[in-house]
Amino acid sequence: MRNTRESWHGKWISTDFATVSQEPEFTLEEMFSGKIKLQEPIEERLNPSIYFKKIFEVSKLVRKARLIITCQGIYQAYLNGKKVTEAIFTPDYTDYNDFLMYQTYDVTDLLVEGMNILAIEVADGWFAGRISVQGGSIQFGNQLALLADLEIDLVDGEKEVIGTDESFTSGTGKHCYADIQIGEKQDFRLDSNWKTSYENLSGKVFEIEADYARLAPQEGPQVYRKQFLAPKKIWHESEDIIVDFGQVIAGRVRLELALEKDQEVILEHAEVLNEEGKFFKNIIGRNKDATDIFVGNGKKEIMEPDFTFHGFRYVKITGLKEIPTNAIQAVSIYSDLPETGYFLTNDSLVNQLLSNILWSQRGNMLSIPTDCPQRERVGWTGDMQVFAPSSTFYMDTNAFIRRWLRSLRINQRSNGEILDYSPAPADAQKSVAFTASYSSAGWGDAIIMVPWTLYERYGDITVLEENYDAMLKWFDFERKSAARGKKGEACYIWDTKFHYGDWMFPSFMMDNPNPMKTAEVTKDIVATMFLAHSAELLANISEIIGKDGKPFKEYCQKVKTAFSHYFITTKNQLCSDFQGCYVLALAFHMIPEHIKSDFVTRLVEKIHENGDRLDTGFLSIPYLLDVLCENGYQELAKTIFFQDACPSWFYEVKQGATTIWESWAGIHPDGKVGAFSFNHYAFGCVLDWMIRETVGLHIRKSGYRAITIKPSVEIVENFNFNFKSPQGSISIIKVGKDWKITVPKAIDMIVDLSEVGGRVKD
């Protein structure tokens, strides 16, 4: 572990032109009111990326060489003009104040005998870029800086170390600016051979005081360019070119063509077209430009941004008359998560839904789990809590999510509150002015629910142990917050602060969207249910790791008793008479058994009244279909699943969606296209239900050490399912009523196909 000054040969270095400017104050209230903040032109606010360079000599034979490196910003490193790594956006996004990772690369093959050149470019990245929800800059600091050691083991047993110090030189080049949110401008007239030239750069560097204690070796996967997509269609709008890549992604565009000297080409990015089929920037807000600019030098060049990414399917190109299809690609970017799941059916619409879920996961697992890859791009706890079970199928997300949980623990407030999102930029501390709260039930509960999911899926008890103290602190905050200023049974009702509630349930969002109203009418009842649920989970977790779970069980029961008195009417209905509230009450066993059937009946009535469509919000949607299946309404669950009227999963599919939307009515039934995100993975949580209730794969012992194959509803005639569990590959192939099931011998398996009339085939 290199987390002291003495463990590094090199020192933190920077330069006079590595200071990032601060954006003017812009509050969430101003942002949500639609206020526009006047700003100076981008090139007057943003600075070029920084070059750092060292020329050195290797006079003996090299046995082994490695580069250990990190920065304040994001970097690309080269030795003798060749990339040290294909990983990008290093050193990844963590809470840099207390957790900054360094990377180690084997560079033996990149060194040559004689003179060598170490060249490193550093850009704003998450450290200093315009990354806050409201578009603020310098969220973790304003000084870009570099720290590196190049360790060279020689054949004769000697060792040399090239560390960052004042012998390095600095400069700038073709990147006029490079902001991870706004975009990049590359001026190829300013390009040079600085990575291979034996001349020093003109700028000096100096050592700075920066924290070493926060440093840690790389944890979890790095970010890579993962797929290259060819255009599906190209057309003109007036003088501009529109390119459709056929798939919403997180990434950027790569051009390979010759521009005239001084010719400027502008690329703007969007996820949808408007109702007239025209280019439409669906994401608006301060510093949400999503625009890249290239200036030609009269030569053929590969033009691709280096330090930014965008959420898009469509690109508008200004400054070109034509573009050959083989001269442009979209580059999909996300963290290098091992692929573990395959699921294909005979139904093309179901397959498209599965594809939409997978692509939303790809687009929102870029260094951290985000809500969306184009607007906020922050690690919302609620989104991760909702999607965590589904996230473990297509990809092994264990190390990725555990790294994020480390930032979440770092950001936990002294009173136990878990912030709404993490890592927490500086502007996150100001969000309390908008909601009067740093946290919310269902969001903060991620510190309990997400580690529980990882334990269940991967079977590693350490994820519970390393988060247990944070769980206790959060639960203590919940408990004290609920009881504040109260006596008696009222202490178990969490109605003392703001919560998002069953956020954005459709009936309040379709015609006159009002997400805050959805919070207002559901926050107290939903918060109280999550208070009980977290207590119940904490009891289970405590017992698993050898602690006493009894106090949490007792507390949970007191919450449930108070819930019955406060929220259940004399007609055995909920005072918040919404689908999602019934779903959560049934899913979390909040109601006495003798009136459970009344609640199921009322939920079914609410669904039928809504035209057999869901009206569940952010926190209840993961449980809707399960609750119906568990209570004998499998056919109604199937009807809702296949519903193609808005709001529904297949409404989006039939509207041409290639990812999961933020709003069920992102494209309204009247055709109007909204200014929403069209890549939000949260509602892809239905994948977990599909796997458990239609494929039938249930976990009986953590890590898939014991499973039950027991489907309760049949949605397709045929499917081919394969999952690389921690115990090995689980294969389930269904053809009509015949099921072929193959699992490793290490897995204890029970098979029950009675509810779908299936038969096991050898």
Tell me, what CATH number does 52's domain have? 2.60.120.260
Inform me whether the pLDDT recorded for 462 exceeds 80: yes
pLDDT at position 432, please?
78
| Tens-place pLDDT, residues 381-431 | 999 999 999 999 999 999 999 999 999 999 999 999 999 999 999 999 877
Domain count, the chain: 4
Mean pLDDT over all residues of the chain? 97
pLDDT at position 38, please?
81
By the 8 A CB rule, do 456 and 700 touch? no
Inform me whether the pLDDT recorded for 603 exceeds 80: yes
Active site residue 543: no
Inform me whether the pLDDT recorded for 78 exceeds 80: yes
| Cα–chain center distance at 718 | 32
pLDDT at position 762, please?
84
Q: Which residues pair with 750 in a beta bridge?
A: 708
Summarize the confidence of residues 203-226 as an average pLDDT: 98
pLDDT at position 431, please?
74
By the 8 A CB rule, do 559 and 532 touch? yes
Summarize the confidence of residues 453-464 as an average pLDDT: 98
* Cα(481)–Cα(179) distance, integer angstroms: 40
* Cα(207)–Cα(608) distance, integer angstroms: 68
* Residue 144 main-chain phi, psi, to 5 deg: -65, 140
704 and 689 housed in the same domain: no
pLDDT at position 189, please?
98
**Amino acid in position 16:** D
Six-digit token pair at 412?
């936990």
615 and 687 housed in the same domain: yes
By the 8 A CB rule, do 177 and 44 touch? no
Inform me whether the pLDDT recorded for 36 exceeds 90: no
Name, in order, each residue with C-beta under 8 angstroms of 227's C-beta and a sequence gap of 6 or more. 249, 331, 332
Summarize the confidence of residues 428-441 as an average pLDDT: 86
Q: Helices (H) and strands (E) in the chain — how many of each?
A: 17, 35
Beta strand 240-258 with 718-725 is unpaired
Inform me whether the pLDDT recorded for 475 exceeds 80: yes
By the 8 A CB rule, do 729 and 735 touch? no
Q: Which residue has the higher pLDDT, 39 or 695?
A: 695
414 and 527 housed in the same domain: yes
**Amino acid in position 97:** N
The dihedral sign for the CA sequence 657, 658, 664, 665 = negative
Q: Which residues pair with 67 in a beta bridge?
A: 105, 150
Structural domain ending residue among the three candidates 661, 694, 727: 694
331 and 412 housed in the same domain: no
CA of 694: how far to CAs of 184, 685, 732, 758, in Å? 46, 14, 11, 12
CATH number of the domain where residue 614 is located: 1.50.10.10
Inform me whether the pLDDT recorded for 714 exceeds 80: yes
* 85-90 own/partner pairs: CB under 8 Å, 24+ apart: 85/222, 86/224, 86/225, 87/222, 87/223, 87/224, 87/336, 88/222, 88/223, 88/224, 88/225, 88/306, 88/333, 89/125, 89/180, 89/223, 89/307, 89/309, 89/333, 89/366, 89/367, 90/222, 90/223
Q: Which residues pair with 529 in a beta bridge?
A: none
| Tens-place pLDDT, residues 525-571 | 999 999 999 999 999 999 999 999 999 999 999 999 999 999 999 99
* Cα(571)–Cα(650) distance, integer angstroms: 35
Inform me whether the pLDDT recorded for 471 exceeds 80: yes
Q: Cis bond leading into 369, ω under 30°?
A: no
pLDDT at position 436, please?
86
Model confidence at 181, pLDDT cuts 50, 70, 90, reads very high
Six-digit token pair at 129?
């870029």
14 and 119 housed in the same domain: yes
CA of 532: how far to CAs of 94, 415, 431, 575, 754, in Å? 31, 20, 27, 18, 34
Percent of the chain with pLDDT over 90: 95
289 and 362 housed in the same domain: no
| Tens-place pLDDT, residues 41-67 | 999 999 999 999 999 999 999 999 999
pLDDT at position 27, please?
81
CA of 59: how far to CAs of 54, 112, 152, 154, 681, in Å? 16, 9, 11, 10, 53
256 and 389 housed in the same domain: no
Active site residue 376: yes
Structural domain ending residue among the three candidates 220, 248, 279: 220
Structural domain ending residue among the three candidates 659, 675, 694: 694
Summarize the confidence of residues 246-270 as an average pLDDT: 98
* Cα(481)–Cα(440) distance, integer angstroms: 11
What residue has token string 């289970």? 540
Q: Cis bond leading into 711, ω under 30°?
A: no
554 and 508 housed in the same domain: yes
Model confidence at 514, pLDDT cuts 50, 70, 90, reads confident
| Tens-place pLDDT, residues 629-669 | 999 999 999 999 999 999 999 999 999 999 999 999 999 99
721 and 619 housed in the same domain: no
By the 8 A CB rule, do 637 and 686 touch? no
Write the DSSP assignment of 577-643 as a string of letters. Answer: --HHHHHHHHHTT-S-GGGHHHHHHHHHHHHHHTTS-----TTTGGGHHHHHHHTT-HHHHHHHHH-
133 and 93 housed in the same domain: yes
Inform me whether the pLDDT recorded for 300 exceeds 80: yes
Q: Which residue has the higher pLDDT, 432 or 290?
A: 290
Count the Cβ atoms, other than its own, within 10 Å of residue 336: 16
By the 8 A CB rule, do 377 and 131 touch? yes
Inform me whether the pLDDT recorded for 37 exceeds 90: no
Summarize the confidence of residues 175-200 as an average pLDDT: 98
686 and 701 housed in the same domain: no
User: Coil, strand, or helix at residue 474?
Assistant: helix
pLDDT at position 284, please?
87
| Cα–chain center distance at 460 | 22
Select which of 376, 536, 693, 714 is catalytic.
376
Inform me whether the pLDDT recorded for 132 exceeds 80: yes
3-state secondary structure 28-82: HHHHHCCCCCCCCCHHHHCCCCEEEEEEEEECCCEEEEEEEEEEECEEEEEECCE
Select which of 268, 662, 693, 714 is catalytic.
662
> What is the domain range of residue 320?
226-335
262 and 158 housed in the same domain: no
